[in-house]
Amino acid sequence: MSKPKVLVARDDIPSAGLDLLRTKCELTIIPGASPTREEILRAIPGHDGFFLVGHHNINSDFLDMAGPSLKVISTMSAGYDHLDVPEIKRRGIKVGHTPVVLNAAVAEVAVMLLLNAARRAHEGRLLLEAGKTENKPQWLLGQDIRGSTVGIVGLGMIGLAIAKRLIPFEIGRFLYTGHSPKKAGDEIGAEFVSLDDLLERSDFVVVATPLTIETRGLFDDAAFGKMKKNAVFVNIARGGVVKTDALVKALKENKIFAAGLDVTDPEPLPTDHELLKLPNLEIVPHIGSATVKTRNDMAVVAAQNIINALENKPLVYPL
């Protein structure tokens, strides 16, 4: 009996995931680390499963090209704003993602960005390189985390993981906002508030919400205008939650103290982008889940999603 055929979107997937898939499936691996959409569309017909890496838009056109053989799509990511999930499911195709296994790694990056932005690490490095360090008591002062108010926009699993890692820093209080109060908020003694209330009261604003119609462009001029002048803004969610021009303006005009970003819009940023010229911005190139263990775990979960679907078993993490 022939094995089901699975298309793998690129050739630099962690071997742990590919080795697992090979035990049950015949693989077609698209060569290269950044295949075009056209290359994927040419390859997809006739496959039972699709192992997706990267934010290729999976919509009606893609599914039409894939044809009736496609039974499952698994994206090696927690986010799924690149997938038209209702359309995929309408066609009877199972779809999965890889949350949970990356929570710790992403939370660590959030804390890193928060600390670096609060203590002006990038600005200090620039001054050090320029030979402009000063031994003065008021030089390069940052913001205290101890005793501060931290507001988390989206207290899901990643938001909660961030909060738990900040507790040892002797946070004064946690605020959070979302659709409704959560038991997780009670766990950490957090107060459920409106977004406006959170923005007005928080010393640190951490964005951990998915990108949806509701959250796209949520952080605009008006939102940054409601924040404290000493506020530090951190986004590890999706770049599209923030209007980039509004953030540039807020940082340049010192409407807020600093920002830390793992995600941007556009992504990647052009090398001459204004954000990259700001001393009060800490930025890394979307590396939240980029650890050896986490990426291995993500590959294995994505592979297991596909195997389970092809064996008519529940996916590990279905959408």
Catalytic residue list = 286
The contacts of residue 83 (CB under 8 Å, 6+ apart) are 58, 73, 75, 95, 319
* Residue 71 Cα to chain centre, angstroms: 27
Question: How is residue 203 annotated by DSSP?
Answer: S
What distance in Å separates the CA atoms of residue 173 and residue 146, rounded to the nearest whole number?
10
Give me the DSSP letters along 233-300. EEE-S-GGGB-HHHHHHHHHTTSSSEEEES--SSSSPPTT-GGGG-TTEEE-SS-TT-SHHHHHHHHH
The three-state secondary structure class of 106 is: helix
CB burial of residue 168 (10 Å; 0-12, 13-18, 19+): exposed
